[in-house]
Amino acid sequence: MNDQAQEMANARRSTSEIVRDEQIERQAAQAAARERNNATGVVLERRQLEIDEVHDVRRHRLNWRRSGRVSASVPDLSLKD
């Protein structure tokens, strides 16, 4: 609809209808934003868990080497650049 037709349609509607429709639109936009934020949060949380797991493995390997318990049967799996 063009602007003039929209204005005419709005003139026929009551103020409470207009306010209600705008409120519904705002709520829908807020719900969509919350959904996007939640999805982003889940991805970030999953990535952080992966990072923590890698750090735990590295810490375990380092402690194992420091303890002197490394044997020929335990390969050195350190991540070297």
Q: What is the reported pTM?
A: 0.44
* pLDDT surpassing 60 at residue 73: no
| pLDDT reported for residue 75 | 59
**Predicted local distance difference test score (pLDDT) of residue 59:** 86
Can you tell me the distance from the alpha carbon of 81 to that of 70, in angstroms, rounded to the nearest whole number?
21
Residue predicted with more confidence, 4 or 27 = 27
Q: What is the pLDDT of residue 31?
A: 92
* pLDDT tens by residue, 19-72: 888 999 999 999 999 898 888 888 888 899 999 998 988 888 888 777 776 554
> How far apart are alpha carbons 41 and 9 in whole angstroms?
41
